Amino acid sequence: MTIGANVAPARAIAETTFFGSGAAAGITAPNLLFLLNAPTSPETMLSFDSDGFGTVTYRGPVPRLFQLESTNVSASAGNNKTYTFAIVVNGVWQVNRAYISGNVISKAQVTRKYAVAGDIGEATILTLLTLQPGDSIAVAVENLADATDITVSDLHLILVGLPLS
């Protein structure tokens, strides 16, 4: 069978990772999302592109349903800090990586409290979402109380296109 311009390929997968000594999120204000743009390594890209800094873009020819999983290991720089991690579709970001606009997926958010500075914790987001051709996906974080930053040591983002019916 020939795959035409309006037929989705059988597989669409994105996997990008960052494993390192840590990358600060760059939070400078409370209650505002900041892009987690640690330098990532695209592991598998089928019908996706990666910017190398945590954002992947769907390049398939038709809309498609995806299973998304994002995990991160991070540590707060302060005591009793609460952060929300969120998936943003088609985000527009300021130079300092602060959120300007985009679609923050309400069902794709998780909140985690860090009891003491240096507390290392994991946050996982798992959801289904439909992407249109050209949609970009990124992980963002916000501090719900103040501008205390967070350091991400590991970031893993996976999107798997579900079988076409």
List pLDDT tens digits, range 54-92.
Answer: 799 999 999 999 999 999 999 999 999 999 999 999 999
CATH number for domain 13-161, candidates 1.10.540.10, 1.10.3720.10, 3.30.70.260, 2.60.120.40: 2.60.120.40
Q: Rounded to whole angstroms, how far apart are CA atoms 81 and 76?
A: 7
Name residue 45's beta-bridge partners: 14
pLDDT tens per residue across span 118-128: 999 999 999 99
Residue 44, C-beta contacts closer than 8 angstroms, at least 6 positions apart: 13, 14, 15
Q: Rounded to whole angstroms, how far apart are CA atoms 35 and 102?
A: 12
Q: Rounded to whole angstroms, how far apart are CA atoms 146 and 82?
A: 9
pTM of the shown model: 0.89
Type of residue numbered 118: G
Q: Rounded to whole angstroms, how far apart are CA atoms 73 and 70?
A: 10
Q: So where are the chain's domains?
A: 13-161
